[in-house]
Structure 1
Amino acid sequence: MTQQSDLILQRMMALHPKVMDLVLDRVWRLLDAVGNPQDRLPPVVHIAGTNGKGSTQAMIRAGLEASGADVHAYTSPHLARFHERIRLAGDLIREEALTEVLDECYKANGSTPITYFEITTVAALVAFARTPADYTLLEVGLGGRLDATNVVSKPALTVITPVDLDHQQYLGNTLSKIATEKAGIIKRGVPCVVGPQHTESMDAIEAVAARHGAPLHAYGQQWHVTQERGRLVFQDETGLLDLPLPNLRGPHQIMNAGAAIAALRLLGKDEAACEAAVTSAYWPARMERLTNGSLVDLAAPAELWLDGGHNPAAGKALADTLRQQPQKPTHLICGMLNTKDIDGYLRHLATTADSLFAVSIPGEANTVPAEDTAAAAARVGLDATVAPDVRSAISTITRATPHARILICGSLYLAGHVIRENMT
């Protein structure tokens, strides 16, 4: 059912500049027009990185909320509904409140060009500034230095998760350039937690931090995290924590948990908060097993899994996660956007899956045609077939191998479509 907020969001799309350029001029202008809400936010934790931003934020939020804090959180993109992007003091923003701030920002902006992400980010900041809370968690949309979220002059803390190749057309074609853009969220004197990095990325982050006099709390230096005997062991200068493994699946979540715990410790939170971070976090479409819904029923008795990762590093993380799962036939249903490195993503999965069914992402102008995804899969050694849609692919797989593992992957946009379709 179309809601009032959907109609306003559609009107906002029409304001998008003809050429996509990363600048903050449009954001500063609109922020000024709506009273500069960025100056009235609860203490901000600002999170950038290529992979792991959402999972790390989810763990930080779980830890803060376990300590009794009310937490605002901003993430993107959404999966099923725009409301997912804005959490006010722990709860998804209500339709009435969302409609109000969107309409206010739309009227304040007028007909001046502005990107969809920019105007909706300003709307989120307005909502955050008007609702009491103890913390605000802001996830960067793209890059960092020129991202619409990078308007808080003095956050409480910044976090940079692993940096890898993605969005090169906007951020640069080397790890050093991309990391420098991500490190643009670093502020003078503000501590910055840094997850594991390639040497080239770490050098760039250290250079930016040095210019700003920002103390770094980096993996392998100020903090360490490992998996030992089925437990997560974290250590920093405060001491050692022996915790359960993260409830979010995959070996990469050990490192995301480490960054979240390092952030919580810098915010003064105790061991109970750190344990809640790894045991209570929820972040959909990250190696998530779907357990009910129409697509789950269609797949039964096969397992149905969903993952929204979409770049080579995410492909590697997904392959590593699959290797840790109990052995059973694994079939991928994959759709991707044409801005992604399809071969680089699929190459890691070639040895972990029995076959791939390629689909186009419904309703996405930038989808890779299913035929092209199948061709890319074949190039890296996957047994690839074109499917007309997700349901057809699931039906074909379950007829042939009823007790298989079916993993839908390749794009958060495909993941969102699947979540919506599974509800029907």
Structure 2
Amino acid sequence: MTRPSDFAVSDNPRVQAQLDRLGALSVPQGRIGLDTIRALLDRLGNPQRHLPPVFHVAGTNGKGSTCAFLRAALEVAGRTVHVFTSPHLVRFNERIRVAGTLIEDAMLAELLAEVLDAAEAAGIAASFFEVSTAAAFLAFTRVPADACVIEVGLGGRFDATNVIEAPAVCGIASLGIDHEAFLLAAEKGVPDDPLTRIAFEKAGIAKPGVPLVTLGYTSAMDQALDKRAKLAGAPHIQHGRDWFVEAGAENFIYRDTKGALTLPVPAMPGAHQIINAGLAIAMLRHQSALAVPDAALAEAMHRAHWPARLQRLHEGPLTALLPPDTPCWLDGGHNPDAGQALARHFGRTGANIHLVIGMLANKAPAALLEPLRQRLASVTVVPVSGHACHDLPAFEEGPSIPRPEAAADVAEALQRLTVDPASGDIVLIAGSLYLAGVVLGENGELPD
């Protein structure tokens, strides 16, 4: 059965009934702004005004990992943490973590029904994400916790989470071109350069007196962030100017005006995770709502995890289709920034990559193929079930790579691969978080 792009299926009938209602929602073409989510939250008693201290994170790539580091550090420090992220991979419940635990089906069904009923009664044409956001905020006001880690869904300025009025701190992770139809739509008074426009949109989460902690980008992007922060009255804390990370083999050094820390390299694979960890540390050290000891920051490097981002798959029904001891990696990356991160990681290993790829029709295959092409041993194209996606010809038109082949699904693709792990061959399944969700489900690795 074809589902809307963010939909999920539940084996709980009460949850499924609400997911059916949720999946039927649509957004009027071209609608932007926060008026709808504000009207909906007003009908619900404005729960966004009664949240524990909020750590608000935007970005193109790395925001989910940054949220994972924030959550891990706060929990190691003895704090209970609510978390709202998107999208889910397998179960809708993954979006809402209540006091450290994925929301239970009974509570999820009740909250979705409450929000959807309120929207219908008031004639509010809320979107899938607006309803999800409102349900999360309700959950976070009804169960006690010490902090909220909230990930921006799309952009920043007009994202539904941006109704949060006084977060403890805001952060912006890696920036790149993505969701062009929304974030680069023509508008007066915004930057013309695409990357600068992206920075402008993300910096829309800045709030008066609230530290805005960012990475360092291009000069034009940094200037746009400085300008937006100044207009909002937000201190801008920037990597390379106000905080720094220096990578080593087993440790890295984080440094700011409060001093330097030597920390273990994150357990999450990929050199880019050091900068994501650094962003989380900078956010924690530049807010005053909750104290987090240095020891908790160090332990968080070991504990933080984020599924489908350079995840090594365990033994399961899918990996059993490969020769024994074949490393099989999963990544939901689908844009040029993600492609570069994958190329840097596997470039260091010298691996020969057998790529199994599925990409939505609104993404560019070259985003992954171009950065990885020098390491590709084979390319197998699979569909992304339930979604409009690229077929084989779209992958044949790009950069010079081994001739792509098509398979009906990931299982067939893995069965057909000729892989020699003794020669350094690895398998990488990538191109879509929706594909990653299917893979995790079929390999028995449900995110918890």
TM-score, normalising length from structure 1?
A: 0.95
- Give the aligned partner of residue 379 of structure 2: 356
How many angstroms apart in 1 are the aligned matches of 2:71 and 2:419? 42
Judge conservation of contact 1:192–1:214 (CA < 8 Å) in 2.
Answer: yes
Aligned partner of 1:340 among 351, 356, 363 = 363
Per-residue CA shift, 1:148-180, capped at 9, x if unaligned? 100111111000112111111111161111111
Aligned partner of 2:441 among 416, 420, 424 = 420
Q: Note if 1:180 corresponds to 2:180.
A: no
How many angstroms apart in 2 are the aligned matches of 1:216 and 1:372? 46
Compared CA separation, residues 255 and 400, structure 1 to 2 (3 A): closer
Runs of 4+ in structure 1 deviating by more than 4 angstroms, as ranges, are none
Q: Note if 1:203 corresponds to 2:223.
A: yes
How many angstroms apart in 1 are the aligned matches of 2:317 and 2:369? 27
Give the C-alpha shift of residue 18 in structure 1.
Answer: 4.1
Judge conservation of contact 2:351–2:375 (CA < 8 Å) in 1.
Answer: no
- Give the aligned partner of residue 285 of structure 1: 308
Aligned partner of 2:22 among 12, 16, 26 = 12
Quick one: which amino acid aligns to residue 305 of structure 2?
Answer: Y
Quick one: which amino acid aligns to residue 202 of structure 2?
Answer: K
Give the C-alpha shift of residue 402 in structure 1.
Answer: 5.8
How many angstroms apart in 2 are the aligned matches of 1:402 and 1:247? 23
Where in structure 1 are there 5+ consecutive unaligned residues? none
Quick one: which amino acid aligns to residue 405 of structure 1?
Answer: I
- Give the aligned partner of residue 140 of structure 2: 128
- Give the aligned partner of residue 24 of structure 1: 34
Give the C-alpha shift of residue 85 in structure 1.
Answer: 0.5
Give the C-alpha shift of residue 192 in structure 1.
Answer: 1.1
Q: Note if 1:77 corresponds to 2:87.
A: yes
Aligned partner of 1:38 among 16, 40, 48 = 48
Instruction: Report percent identity of matched pairs.
Output: 42
Judge conservation of contact 1:336–1:373 (CA < 8 Å) in 2.
Answer: no
Q: Count the aligned residue pairs.
A: 419
SS at match of 2:175: coil
Aligned partner of 1:2 among 2, 11, 17 = 11
Where in structure 2 are there 5+ consecutive unaligned residues? 1-9, 185-192
Aligned partner of 2:273 among 253, 276, 281 = 253
- Give the aligned partner of residue 91 of structure 1: 101
Compared CA separation, residues 400 and 272, structure 1 to 2 (3 A): closer
How many angstroms apart in 2 are the aligned matches of 1:200 and 1:338? 31
How many angstroms apart in 2 are the aligned matches of 1:34 and 1:223? 40
Q: Note if 1:391 corresponds to 2:411.
A: yes
Quick one: which amino acid aligns to residue 360 of structure 2?
Answer: L
How many angstroms apart in 1 are the aligned matches of 2:374 and 2:414? 21
How many angstroms apart in 1 are the aligned matches of 2:131 and 2:163? 13
How many angstroms apart in 1 are the aligned matches of 2:284 and 2:228? 23
SS at match of 2:163: coil
| More divergent stretch after superposition (214-223 vs 172-181) | 172-181
CA RMSD in angstroms comes to: 1.6
How many angstroms apart in 2 are the aligned matches of 1:313 and 1:361? 21
Alignment of 1:289-368 (within 5 A): 289-301=312-324, 302-325=326-349, 327-364=350-387, 366-368=388-390
Quick one: which amino acid aligns to residue 189 of structure 1?
Answer: G
How many angstroms apart in 2 are the aligned matches of 1:389 and 1:308? 16
Per-residue CA shift, 1:281-328, capped at 9, x if unaligned? 010011110112211222241221100111001000011011122x44
Judge conservation of contact 2:167–2:210 (CA < 8 Å) in 1.
Answer: yes
